[in-house]
Structure 1
């Protein structure tokens, strides 16, 4: 099917020449003499390119060009003028024309016109194809994010169910060591579930806002300690965004350090506080710290309990490309971890 060219010019003789020359080039030509007939032809559709003369009896081609631009037309426009004034061509290009051709009486005019039309149509087709591809990519990304949010929702619910089942086992067990081990396992599962919950409730399913995530995590860890004599927890976290894999590693580290501090930092019956900090140091890093004012523990001391928590902390720190540092304090324990944000 031949491509259709709308030729706008009030010179009937030139219009007939256009039909002859462009017809030989394989185009179908529709002729319009003014703005009204040109816009009517555009509204009917099926136009692949517009050849628009500058000088018309009523106004100029720029008036039609502005109308097309206001309507959001993506049809390429080849602007034609007999003037040698470069400002007309510049104005046309600024107004949305894809190219321009200077009207001459020489033999080169029609070949230049055909070349401009061919290039204008090709460029418009490429632009439409690019816009279509970008729309498809955007829609695909949106569908993937919806699916990923649903997956995170289901995973969070499943982990919450597992944590609830473990909680039932804790309440029914009579062995204190078993109860403690199950409670620690419940806290670890809850940390991962909290990360997934943060993802499916966020606008960005790939990143976790650490202040919100750690706030939820701290509350859940505190709730697992069903003893009013246990220390309280204070959190100071800045709104830093991390990818989900890095967030869950930090969540596991905080869970282990908090659980250990709540169990061992203060003697039974002694009130105290455990503090969690997550603050940006610069554009590329943040500092995670968990500290208390308790009996103190230094790196190299014999771990209390099974030592599983210490191994988990070291492993999670390694996945972040970092290590846990225990900072000497006058009293208590302070564990620090530098986290890369890039």
Structure 2
């Protein structure tokens, strides 16, 4: 299929030469002598490139160039000038011309013109293909994010249903040890469900906003594990985003440490506070800590309960490339982990 060239020049004889020389190269040439006739041709469409002469009777090529750009900024323009002043060609290129050709009386003018037109059309096609590919990538990414958000929504709902069933089973059990084990299992499932819920309500389905996630998690633990007369929980978390797998590990650690703290940190019936901290640290790291002002516990002391929670915490800390540390304090217990945010 021949390419169509709009050739704007008030020299009728030169326009005829353009039709002959460019026609041999497979181009269809439509001549125009001024800006008005050029715009009329452009309005009809089907133009693949424009050859635009600088010196015209009533205007310059740059005057027409701006009007062409307003009509269609994607069509390549080859600027032609017979001036030896390079500033004209530079000005045209600055305004977005694809190339320029110096007008001469020799035979080399037409091969140079053909080459400039061919390169300009090829480059314009490449740009359009690139923009099309980028648009398809953007649309594909948007579809994938919508699908991923829907998947996270369904997973969160399914896990919430499992947690509810476990809660019903715990309520029907007459064995206190079974009730306690089921309550802890429910808290662990709820922690994972909360992460998925955070993902489908977030603007970025690849990242979990930890301050919001931990806020929901703390409320869940406070409502399902903690006796209303027992310790309260306070959260102090910076706005830090983690990938979903790392967010799950942090959530499981917080759940286990909180559960242990509210059950064992204070004497039965005594009020107190358990604090959860997630704070920025230097060099792209974050500090996760759970602390209380209770009776105190340090690493090496006898583990209360089954010890499953301690094993979960150590395992989750390992997946974060870190380890759990118990800080010696005058009163109470503080467990902390330093982790890399960007991993």
> TM-score, normalization: structure 1?
0.99
Which residue pairs with 1:331 in the alignment? Answer: 331
Which residue pairs with 1:175 in the alignment? Answer: 175
Which residue pairs with 1:257 in the alignment? Answer: 257
Per-residue deviation, 1:152: 0.3
Per-residue deviation, 1:37: 1.1
Which residue pairs with 2:14 in the alignment? Answer: 14
Which residue pairs with 1:104 in the alignment? Answer: 104
Per-residue deviation, 1:159: 0.4
Which residue pairs with 1:83 in the alignment? Answer: 83
Which residue pairs with 1:152 in the alignment? Answer: 152
Q: C-alpha distance in 2, partners of 1:169/1:321?
A: 36
Q: C-alpha distance in 2, partners of 1:68/1:156?
A: 54
Aligned-residue CA RMSD (Å): 0.9
- Runs of 4+ aligned structure 1 residues displaced above 6 Å come to none
Which residue pairs with 1:244 in the alignment? Answer: 244
Please list, as runs of the form range in 1=range in 2, the aligned pairs for 1:188-207 lying within 5 A after superposition: 188-207=188-207
> How many matched pairs?
342
Please list, as runs of the form range in 1=range in 2, the aligned pairs for 1:97-136 lying within 5 A after superposition: 97-136=97-136
| Preserved contact between residue 253 and residue 317 of structure 1 (Cα < 8 Å) | yes
| Preserved contact between residue 266 and residue 295 of structure 1 (Cα < 8 Å) | yes
Q: C-alpha distance in 2, partners of 1:39/1:243?
A: 54
Q: C-alpha distance in 2, partners of 1:82/1:254?
A: 76
Per-residue deviation, 1:72: 4.1
Which residue pairs with 1:222 in the alignment? Answer: 222
Q: 1:180 to 1:268 in 2, by over 3 A?
A: same
Which residue pairs with 2:286 in the alignment? Answer: 286
| Preserved contact between residue 52 and residue 80 of structure 1 (Cα < 8 Å) | yes
SS at match of 1:332: coil
Per-residue deviation, 1:40: 1.4
Which residue pairs with 2:45 in the alignment? Answer: 45
Q: 1:328 to 1:72 in 2, by over 3 A?
A: farther
Task: List runs of 5+ in structure 1 lacking aligned partners.
Answer: none
SS at match of 2:332: coil
SS at match of 1:294: coil
Q: C-alpha distance in 2, partners of 1:17/1:331?
A: 97
Per-residue deviation, 1:70: 2.4
